[in-house]
A and B are shown apart, each in its own frame.
Chain A
């Protein structure tokens, strides 16, 4: 069984009357890509700040690599890499100097550092831009530089706090591929995001947070099994009568059927061949059928069912 890299036990953090973290308990194993998923204000960044001892907490314990984490745990900090949402680089230094500076905060030996910096540059694909100043880089390249600054010292635990906010889809994919590669190379990853698709794509285990609580935890499959909905069927159909809608609602495993503006939405819990059964009812009544598609539940459905609200009301 893999070793525990991070153990958060009963963590409580208050900002005056606001409880930012409410008895949060987490365990992250070596080699995992652990996703912290939750809407803005759910306590993801507070958790990370407490984890890094940048923020004092009111109650609880944090162990990293089996040792208690304190503000002066420099031996632990040496093994952690942090990549945050805001690009943290010096505009006055070149790409190379930026990576060298941040790497130098962990590795003092010049030769060793040079190797690490060059590897990091290769890893993020900035070989042609080493003498460029950050202001000359595109948004995507700047994000890559931000990542290189966080991983150059080869940390065993890498924390990525919403690293893809305001990033174009191409750069986002490249960043996600990079994270998977870092994980393959042996790093344990903690990934916070409110983009459920990203978390679903790369995380091996996920904790969903809301208002400082951990509301669910497990693999994405485990999380989806926690909810009633297993399949949502959408059918574009004209002039559906209440009688036909009642027949669809009465099918086995169907727990909800709604007809609205020419679209029939059927929610099913478990069972097989639900789509065929729905289509059979519609065919029996000679209904003119348009587009038909079936959706498996997403993490948003999980969040919606547990909290009664969506992870993101609109695309951010």
Chain B
């Protein structure tokens, strides 16, 4: 077991990379878990609005009262510089000036030039308040056109637009995915990136070190058979891969506060199969006998590249047809497709899910065959 032991001795010098990736991933996942909890509570947005009534009529007061019902009215000095500063420091979100002649204009059915406003251009608050004012004016206009007096129209408009609706989140689980919450979906969605990064940057480097040409030469001259050496190296790799995968699975269950149930187990299976794919990539990269910094570069390119193209970082629905076509030739795409079936983004079909798993396994097998070809080619290199 000399080679098996040395695998872990070399790993001991490289484990920090895995630790950093794991901690960052779990911390982000934990953060997402908390933010999702807050996301189940609904609260209507309230703006800080300053109103300057230059008209001073019944109608302008009715509008001010309407705004006051749902938003916070702030008083400000009628000085342009002060108002700009208040907007800049976000003390107020919107400053509305009701122009003189507002009531007369409404009575005549004119909707132009009713207001002057100071706002942060294209901000959420500015668009939101502009919509509220447009809606108010158009509703008053509609009631007036229906025969109501201006006072009645304003009162009716205020009543209708002030109605609030109770909003309650029933569940954060997609239909048909009761055991597989959106949190689980997010947790498993980012797993291809973390698995490729950890396995390539650690396993790839450790295997690269053990398979270094000069080391391999000396080892193969020894009294231990090449088969035994290879078996011991890959037994060590297997233990490391399994432990890393188990850490992510256990951490997922701990953070979610319970054991996996129902469809969540399929996500566990999906992640295990992708772990095999990531390990196969690491084995292939290690067989290329690259320098450690080149392996790191390959890790970044493969990890980030595959994650962006295959829907890990950006949902598949936002990717162009061309990108998706290219992604089909990468294993992470099939992992994400399987994950989407579990979280309800795509209709679950047992056959299709099995297909996604099968394709990932085929990728792993092809990568291992390719590794054997590379090794054979390297072993037949001309020696002096």
Contacts and interface: CB of A to CB of B under 8 A. Distances in A.
Contacts of A255: none
A46 interface: yes
B69 interface: no
B223 A105 contact: yes
Interface stretch (A29-37, A48-56, A265-273): A48-56
A289 to B, nearest CB: 46
Contacts of B38: none
B9 A106 contact: no
Interface stretch (A60-68, A80-88, A168-176, A301-309): A80-88
Q: Which of B214, B382, B383 has the most CB of A within 10 A?
A: B383
Interface residues of B, number: 26
A259 interface: no
A46 B384 contact: yes
A40 B384 contact: yes
Given A87-B214, A90-B215, A77 B6 contact: no
Interface string B206-230: 0001001111011111111110000
Q: Could you tell me the dominant secondary structure of chain B's interface residues?
A: helix
B383 to A, nearest CB: 6
B218 A90 contact: no
Contact of B225 (A72, A89, A108): A72
A102 B218 contact: yes
Interface in B1-24: 2-3, 6, 9-10, 12-14
A154 interface: no
Residue among A45, A77, A92, A102 with most chain B CB within 10 A: A92
Nearest to B384: A45
B382 A15 contact: yes
Contact of A92 (B2, B10, B221, B382): B10
B377 to A, nearest CB: 14
A118 interface: no
B217 to A, nearest CB: 6
Max chain B C-beta neighbours (<10 A), residue from A49, A101, A106: A101
Interface of B: 2-3, 6, 9-10, 12-14, 209, 212-215, 217-226, 382-384
8 interchain residue pairs of minimum CB distance: A88-B214, A105-B222, A92-B13, A104-B2, A78-B223, A86-B214, A88-B218, A92-B10
7 contacts: A41-B384, A84-B217, A86-B214, A93-B9, A101-B2, A105-B222, A150-B218
